[in-house]
Structure 1
Amino acid sequence: MTTKRQSMTKNAAMLALFAFACTLLVVIVNYFTEPRIEQQVKAQLIRSTNEVLSEELADSEYQQRCLIVNEPQFLGSDKDQTIRLIELNQVTAAYVYQSIAPDGYSGQIRLLVGLNADSTISGVRVVQHNETPGLGDKVETRKSDWIYQFNGQGLIDEKDSRWAVKKDGGQFDAFTGATITPRAVVKAVKNVLIYHATNQQSINDNATDC
């Protein structure tokens, strides 16, 4: 009986040691890969800037100023987000917001939201997500044209009922079998518009060279 108990104790110790080693390995891999992933996302954000601008502005030799803000209520994260001011001849022609939809079906959805000078939307792009292939990933332009629904849209006020998916009484299409993802993106884009309406002058005054 003693030998059997010693064997069980030994096996349990080995299993615990194996579990610890696996956990440690995951932590180490995450420690070294997370900064690289973050750098790749930032690079993608910069590359995607032209995609959310009007075609005319994207083809011009514009300048940029930037403002770093921390607005979890409106931009979806307690991490700093960047607002880019796109300028022609020292006049602001557009704004590009980094934003996050925190309530996607499979977690956060990172967005770029472009606004024209009149606060209408020039474009929206998803730059990172973990949504379900074949369902939620239709937010990508290579999978569907769903994201183009935002082009030219504006916001009347914070209670603008159009800013919801059709299932909730709004104007935006959802995906068959997947309402959570489009609902999250619509909400995130609306929050950008709300924030911009209140803070546009402050953004103009405080932005600096990128």
Structure 2
Amino acid sequence: MKTTLAQMLRAGGVLGAFGLACAAVLGGTWTLTADRIREAEQQRLLRQLEEVLPVGAYDNAVASDTLQVTSDALGPGTHTVYRARRDGEPVAAVLSAVAPDGYGGPIALLVGIAYDGRITGVRVTAHKETPGLGDKIDLSRNDWILDFDGRSLLDPGPRDWAVKKDGGVFDQFAGATITPRAVVKAVHRSLQYFAEHRETLFAHAEETP
């Protein structure tokens, strides 16, 4: 009986040690994977910011010169504003915005706006629009999104900030008007928000940890 009990204890010890070893391996793997995921996300963000900002126009670390804002104009939730400066002076801002009324759900955007109010670039960062139709808002599928470059609140005029089906100047997609309409409205609202809050957005400390 004693031998059987000892064997059971040894078996339990072996199983316990095996369990601890497995937990350590899984924990280490998760830590390494999480670090890699964070690094990949950071690199993706930097690439996206570079795409919507004028090359060589700023000299600060835009990804860390940020503030958080909430506004219905930018869509539901909290939004990050990335600020570009040169020699400490404002150059442009990139607003993270959401078009809440996409066909497949909310459409996440980055809207770059120069300090003078002209768009420096727009990119869709996340969406669930219909493949082959609404997904043409993605630059990898179509260059439609580039039509915002250089636009402002006055170019086109207020009534023209719409898709052509609604009397505006922006193209819609065959069989998919809801998606571009949502993006156009979100970009226009972002411009309005920037015009109303421009000085306030750049009034905060230059670098945030």
Q: TM-score range with shorter-chain normalisation? A: 0.7 to 0.9
CA apart distance, 1:61:
3.7
CA distance in structure 2 between the partners assigned to 1:86 and 1:48 by the alignment: 14
Stretch moving more, 61-70 or 177-186: 61-70
Q: Tell me the secondary structure at the aligned position of residue 68 of structure 1.
A: strand
Structure-to-structure mapping, 1:150-189, within 5 angstroms: 150-156=148-154, 160-189=158-187
Query: Which AA in structure 2 matches 1:67?
Result: L
Deviation at 1:41, TM superposition (A): 10
Letter in 2 for 1:62: N
CA deviations 1:39-93 (Å, max 9, x no partner) are 6996444431001012343xx643332111011x10111x211111101111111
For the aligned residues, what is the CA RMSD? 2.3
**Contact persistence 1:165–1:183 (CA under 8 A):** yes
Paired residue for 1:194, among 188, 192, 195?
192
Q: Are the equivalent residues in 2 in contact too, given 1:102–1:184 (CA < 8 A)?
A: yes
Pair 165,207 (structure 1): closer, same or farther in 2 beyond 3 Å = farther
Offset at 1:142? 1.1
Question: For residues 117 and 161 of structure 1, do their structure 2 counterparts lie closer, same or farther at Cα, with a shift above 3 Å needed?
Answer: same
Residues in 2 aligned to 1:67 and 1:192: alpha-carbon distance in whole angstroms? 16
Counterpart Cα distance in 2 of 1:188 and 1:176: 20
Paired residues of 1:162 and 1:171 also in contact (CA < 8 A): yes
Which residue does the alignment assign to 1:121?
A: 119
Q: Which residue of 1 aligns with 2:87?
A: 89
Q: Where do 1:49-88 residues align within 5 Å?
A: 49-57=49-57, 61-64=59-62, 65-71=65-71, 73-77=72-76, 79-88=77-86
- Please give the alpha-carbon distance, in whole angstroms, between the structure 1 residues aligned to 2:205 and 2:98: 21
Residue 106 of structure 2 is matched in structure 1 by 108
Q: Is the 8 A contact 1:113 1:124 kept in 2?
A: yes
What is the total number of aligned residue pairs between the two structures?
A: 169
Structure 1 unaligned residues grouped into runs of 5+: 1-35
1:190 to partner: Cα distance: 0.4
CA drift of 1:205 comes to 1.1
Superposed CA offset, 1:12-38 (max 9, x none)? xxxxxxxxxxxxxxxxxxxxxxxx8x9
Q: Report the TM-score when normalising by structure 1.
A: 0.74
Counterpart Cα distance in 2 of 1:85 and 1:162: 28
